[in-house]
Amino acid sequence: MTLPAETIAEIAAELAEADRTHGVIPRITARYPEATVEDSYAIQGVWRDSQIADGRKLVGRKIGLTSKAMQQATGITEPDYGVMFDDTVYESGSEIPVDHFSNVRIEVELAFVLKHPLEGPDCTLDDALAAIDYAVPALEVLNSHIELEGRTIVDTISDNAAYGAMVLGDVHKRPDEIDLRWVPGVLSRNGEIEETGVAAGVLGHPATGVAWLANKFHQHGARLEAGEIILAGSFTRPMWVSRGDEVLCDYGPMGTISCRFV
């Protein structure tokens, strides 16, 4: 790491305040160009621990920037990850307050619930599939507290990988019940199709990111735990949403998800 501990703590406090007020702060890399990816995960970790200390419950992890669509949309070429808390999980059909988020966009994803712990350093796709209880379709609500123009992966990771919330579908499938690579996503806003894709766009198989995350965690002496939800990354570009927008995503054999922003 290059940033001193006090600077990391100050930035984490800025991000916590931005989350509380639904505001946006200047880019970290504009102020601290020497900041590294290690610094950004340290900032995220301090922020995460402060949220847990305030009573929030961690329910899983999100993986981001795992598809060419998302990498081209952001200009960032390596995956990242963040944490998800229990108060950010919505059911299909929910009304979602748009004012709770900043720079609000939607992504089409699959989520996985683990039945066994998963640990690196040599975790493979087969290992991940064996540890997964079931897959469920999901929409991710992006929530960016750092100005978007010119941001780098350091900014994004520091900001909890831009995670805001997720909307989970009702259809659960075991990995042996369906070819997860070919799950489609047809994303509509107010009745008009905006984005389409298939889950193979995420690293060739959407569960590949779960193995990647287990190996990444091993570097920090941690593992993925049974019962955690892993949001595997978008296979469409992000779609902007505003108050009043009706969102529907059709996942073919895995059903549909709807939500409305109010």
Provide the 8-state DSSP code for 146: B
Residue 16 maps to a domain: no
User: Is-contact 111 168, C-beta < 8 A?
Assistant: yes
Backbone angles phi, psi at 53, to 5 degrees: -60, -30
Report the range of poorest mean pLDDT among 49-58, 62-71, 206-215.
62-71
User: Is-contact 103 78, C-beta < 8 A?
Assistant: no
State how beta strands 192-198 and 80-85 pair. Answer: unpaired
The mean per-residue pLDDT over the stretch 11-34 comes to 96
Residue 177 maps to a domain: yes
Residue 185 maps to a domain: yes
Residue 250 maps to a domain: yes
Residue 59 confidence class, pLDDT cut points 50, 70, 90:
very high
Rounded to two decimals, what is the model's pTM? 0.94
User: How far, in Å, CA of 37 to CA of 2, rounded?
Assistant: 10
Residue 3 maps to a domain: no
Number of domains in the chain: 1
Residue 50 maps to a domain: no
Residue 76 confidence class, pLDDT cut points 50, 70, 90:
low
Residue 43 maps to a domain: no
Residues spanned by the domain of 231: 58-261
147-179, pLDDT tens digit by residue? 999 988 899 999 999 999 999 999 999 999 999
Residue 39 maps to a domain: no
- Region of 227 please: left (phi>0), alpha (psi -120 to 50) or beta: left
pLDDT at residue 220, as a whole number: 79
User: Is-contact 233 219, C-beta < 8 A?
Assistant: no
Which sign, positive or negative, has the C-alpha torsion 31, 36, 37, 42?
negative
> What is the pLDDT of the chain when averaged over all its residues?
94
189-241, pLDDT tens digit by residue? 999 999 999 999 999 999 999 999 999 889 878 899 999 999 999 999 999 99
Q: Does the structure show a pLDDT above 80 at 70?
A: no
CATH number at 203 reads 3.90.850.10
